[in-house]
Structure 1
Amino acid sequence: MAAVPLARPDARAWFVLGMLCFVYVLNFLDRQLLSILAKPIQDDLQLSDGQLGRIGGLYFALFYCLISIPVGWLADRTNRVKVLSFACALWSAATVACGMASTYPQLVAARMAVGVGEAGGVPPSYAIISDYFPSGTRATALGLFNLGPPLGQALGVAFGASVAATYDWRSAFVVVGAVGVVTALLVYMFVREPVRGGLDRAPSVAPVESATAHAGFRATIAMFFSRPVLVLVALACGATQFVTYASLNFTTLFLMREKGMTLEEIAVYYALLIGIGISAGMYVSGRITDRLARNGKQAYALVPAVGLALAIPFFIGFVWAPGWQLALLFLIGPTFFNYFYLSPAVTLVQEEVRPSERVLSGALLLLVMNLIGLGLGPTYLGALSDLLRDTHPENSLQLAFYTLVPFYVLAVVMFVVLARKLKREPLVVGDQP
């Protein structure tokens, strides 16, 4: 069969990408409000670092990751846009509930509900974008989509810290949740479900079959975990996210408690750093990957490996710096380089599997890397800070942050191993000539 010519994304594709990116901004904003407002929440509800680590890590991740698997299977067999819009409405309503919590158990329950909703956000979006953008442009498109976390983090810092400083931390949760409910309705009304696999080049089966056939739930899971490349990229991302989520969940608390920043300063300087630094890293890594991948798939692993290696000395400087001004200067490096992994990893998984397996495969990628990174990273850092608090009350978080460096090294090594495997891999399904 003749190969399908490489298509160019049209205006509707860019509109959909913009809508999905905004949903992702809200997804991550809702998720990160807890860490952004950690200090006032901690003071109001009398929480320890360990309790903050568990609610932002293990408790949230268990529901977020495990629910994402059946949601991914459902989205692969039904309308992905409807699944996404319902999920957005659910996590937004749960965010409002977080602002109404008056005890720790109530806050835990509300955060678990946020996790249930957010499980239906990212995997369907990955697959929708992959069916609006052809191979050769997907890494750039997914790189732009993955601007959601830094933009959400930056807006959360700026908005959440400002509202908390002016009113209280509860108001920030209520307002952000209300915006999410309205956004869910707009997605349902204006985003169309694309044809599955419609832009893939030379599918290995007939076009109608490729676009409509449903991959089995168990068969897709078995396929994912039987492919060394897919397992290794998920584990490498998990090691990376162990560092990134641990850092994100405690950086504002660290800057305020041990570096001397105020909420007003956080709202301006840290928000700008996060918004610009991570966004630039996401976009640049997507463009570099699209360019280098033309010469070999190992680019999907080498780009993250180089980025993480470059981040290590800057991260150490950030933790060491005696004042917040110098700490923020050093933090520019990790903020930019830490996220070189995400766009290449997501693109690799979407390219490696069939159209009918994309949502569930994306969910499995998130399951592995978020159970390790989101589930264990913040939980570990908070528990270690509590452990060190008795002997080092003034800098327990600083000492805990230093212990993240070996996980950087582990992630670099895993991506290098993945690059060697990819160099020997044949062309993927979506890229066959």
Structure 2
Amino acid sequence: MTASIVPDAELRTVADHETGGYKWYVAVVLCFAHTVAIIDRFVMVLVAEPLRATMHLSDLQLGLLQGTGFALLYCGFAVPLGAVADATNRRNLIMVGISLWSLATIAAAFATSFETLFATRFLVGMGEACLVPAGMSLLAAYFAPANLARGTAIFGMGANFGLGFAFLGGGALLSALVARGGLTFPGGAHFEPWEGIFIAAGLAAVPVLILLLWLREPPRTQPASARMAALREGFAFILANLRGYLPFLVVGAMTAVTGYSVTSFSSSLFVRMHGLSPAEAGKLIGLVGLLAGPLGTFSGGYALDRLRARGVDGAPLVVMGVGSVFAVILATGTSFASSLPVATGFFCLFVFESTFVLPALYVGMQLLTPDRFRGIAASFNMMVYTLAGLGLGPPVVGAISDRLNLGDRSLGFGIVIVELAMVLIILPVALVSRRGFQAKMRAVTR
């Protein structure tokens, strides 16, 4: 999760009409919204194998559904909706977004072809694009700078909860639906287990929508014209300095590919290579995500702070460069381990590594950017790494898997080939650009 387009004046001003505990209510409700967003984003991974069998999908099509279909409109609308969030009622914008992505998730249960499924993923991405910009803008309005990080951390925890519920909770629900033969509503409407998962994931947003009714829109500290002018100024700065940002953006984008290439096919790997059911794979992946994910993120943030304190040039690039080497090793172990316990161990370490590099991916862009432009820089960074990670990683893995035609082992080879290609880009770019990164960072902090 990243920050969004939030004018500096709003970051420095706490809404006068609300103090005390209400701001924590705002943070918790936004955390719940983030949770259901991540559930709807990754539920496709959980049901990938039954979906593939029912609709006779190729691995390339699975990759497009799990990545590109979501990423295109998510990235295309993230910054424009950030501008909308600065000019309209943010609570209402989030409610509209949740309604859209939840209905699109439910609509996936009625899809009869790859094309209709792809259209639902488009709409999920479009709906979710509003959450981070509007949510961060609300947090900046309610929290003083001294405790904004804590409010943001609560919001960010929704990503961890969402992954856990999507796989662990979703796996348990999928087991129950398989045992019952599917989901049947009063009146006789019947859905297959994987269809029922989409319906349940979409309906999970209903309690959040109710809680949002009690979330009040704080007064603005700037007129809409001033906020839009700040947005244009920020964009102009990013474009004028794009050459300086480019090495970091390349490393960050390729780092995102290393993570999503494995995560998006994790359920399929355990089903194909170790004979787990989709429900069993979901439970395993969810448990690993809940344990290794937060630990990796915290450890990565601590390590980055330590490297910077020791004066290591381009510390974020160092973290991502070293992480890419481990990503290849751990992805290989996850893909080809001969036993389930060994594969699970490698996967646990891979999740730790892929979350370990996240603080470097987020913080690096901030270090290169003056304070008044950090919101737009964060949104631009988010757009680039999401489009690369989800839009490029899964479909390329799927295309290689289809091309190799080696049975169940094709998917593992596809993952490892992509991981190797990424490390061959990340390492030299990170090594060459370390000192340039440090020089630009010093120029920003003067």
Relative to the length of structure 1, the TM-score reads 0.82
1:362 correspondence with 2:378:
yes
Partner residue, 1:203: none
Write the distance in 2 (CA, Å) between the matches of 1:295 and 1:6: 34
Corresponding residue pairs, total: 414
Q: What amino acid sits opposite 1:401 in the alignment?
A: I
Residue 26 of structure 1, CA deviation: 1.5
Residue 245 of structure 1, CA deviation: 1.6
1:110 correspondence with 2:126:
no
Deviations 1:349-370 (A, max 9, x none): 4566577755544332222112
> Could you tell me which of 373, 385, 394 is aligned with 1:378?
394
> Do the aligned partners of residues 71 and 6 (structure 1) sit closer, same or farther apart at CA in structure 2, a change above 3 Å counting?
closer
State, as a whole percentage, how many aligned pairs show the same letter: 26
> Do the aligned partners of residues 62 and 5 (structure 1) sit closer, same or farther apart at CA in structure 2, a change above 3 Å counting?
closer
Partner residue, 1:70: 80
Partner residue, 2:229: 215
Deviates more, 1:62-71 or 1:299-308: 299-308
Q: In 2, are the aligned partners of 1:143 and 1:282 still within 8 Å (CA)?
A: no
* Alignment root-mean-square deviation, CA: 3.5
> Could you tell me which of 275, 287, 302 is aligned with 1:260?
275
Residue 10 of structure 1, CA deviation: 7.1
Residue 189 of structure 1, CA deviation: 2.5
Q: In 1, are the aligned partners of 2:258 and 2:324 still within 8 Å (CA)?
A: no
Write the distance in 2 (CA, Å) between the matches of 1:280 and 1:191: 34
Residue 346 of structure 1, CA deviation: 2.9
Write the distance in 2 (CA, Å) between the matches of 1:81 and 1:314: 41
Partner residue, 1:333: 349
Write the distance in 1 (CA, Å) between the matches of 2:145 and 2:436: 21
Q: Match of 1:190, SS?
A: coil
> Could you tell me which of 370, 388, 399 is aligned with 2:413?
399
Q: In 2, are the aligned partners of 1:76 and 1:358 still within 8 Å (CA)?
A: no
> Do the aligned partners of residues 30 and 209 (structure 1) sit closer, same or farther apart at CA in structure 2, a change above 3 Å counting?
closer
1:387 correspondence with 2:403:
yes
> Do the aligned partners of residues 133 and 277 (structure 1) sit closer, same or farther apart at CA in structure 2, a change above 3 Å counting?
farther
Q: Where do residues 172-321 of structure 1 align in structure 2 (5 Å cutoff)?
A: 172-190=197-215, 192-193=217-218, 213-215=227-229, 217-227=231-241, 228-289=243-304, 298-321=314-337
Write the distance in 2 (CA, Å) between the matches of 1:283 and 1:145: 15
Deviates more, 1:338-347 or 1:366-375: 338-347
Residue 256 of structure 1, CA deviation: 0.3
Q: Where do residues 42-53 of structure 1 align in structure 2 (5 Å cutoff)?
A: 42-53=52-63
Write the distance in 2 (CA, Å) between the matches of 1:94 and 1:158: 22
Write the distance in 1 (CA, Å) between the matches of 2:13 and 2:375: 22
Q: What amino acid sits opposite 1:337 in the alignment?
A: E
Write the distance in 2 (CA, Å) between the matches of 1:39 and 1:426: 46
Q: In 2, are the aligned partners of 1:229 and 1:418 still within 8 Å (CA)?
A: no
Deviates more, 1:59-68 or 1:282-291: 282-291
Q: What amino acid sits opposite 1:62 in the alignment?
A: L
Q: Where do residues 100-179 of structure 1 align in structure 2 (5 Å cutoff)?
A: 100-129=110-139, 142=152, 145-167=155-177, 168-179=193-204
Residue 419 of structure 1, CA deviation: 4.3
> Do the aligned partners of residues 72 and 295 (structure 1) sit closer, same or farther apart at CA in structure 2, a change above 3 Å counting?
farther
For structure 2, the residue ranges without an aligned partner over 5 or more in a row are 1-10, 178-192
Q: What amino acid sits opposite 2:333 in the alignment?
A: G
Deviates more, 1:265-274 or 1:30-39: 265-274
Q: In 2, are the aligned partners of 1:72 and 1:359 still within 8 Å (CA)?
A: no
Partner residue, 1:87: 97
Q: What amino acid sits opposite 2:362 in the alignment?
A: V
Q: What amino acid sits opposite 1:411 in the alignment?
A: I
For structure 1, the residue ranges without an aligned partner over 5 or more in a row are 197-207
Deviations 1:312-369 (A, max 9, x none): 4322222221122210111121101112333343345456657775554433222211
Q: In 2, are the aligned partners of 1:128 and 1:194 still within 8 Å (CA)?
A: no
Write the distance in 2 (CA, Å) between the matches of 1:237 and 1:306: 13
Write the distance in 2 (CA, Å) between the matches of 1:281 and 1:420: 26
Write the distance in 2 (CA, Å) between the matches of 1:332 and 1:87: 33
Partner residue, 2:38: 28
Write the distance in 1 (CA, Å) between the matches of 2:375 and 2:91: 12
Q: Match of 2:407, SS?
A: coil
> Do the aligned partners of residues 293 and 60 (structure 1) sit closer, same or farther apart at CA in structure 2, a change above 3 Å counting?
same
Relative to the length of structure 2, the TM-score reads 0.80
> Do the aligned partners of residues 385 and 318 (structure 1) sit closer, same or farther apart at CA in structure 2, a change above 3 Å counting?
same
Deviates more, 1:103-112 or 1:310-319: 310-319
Write the distance in 1 (CA, Å) between the matches of 2:12 and 2:113: 58
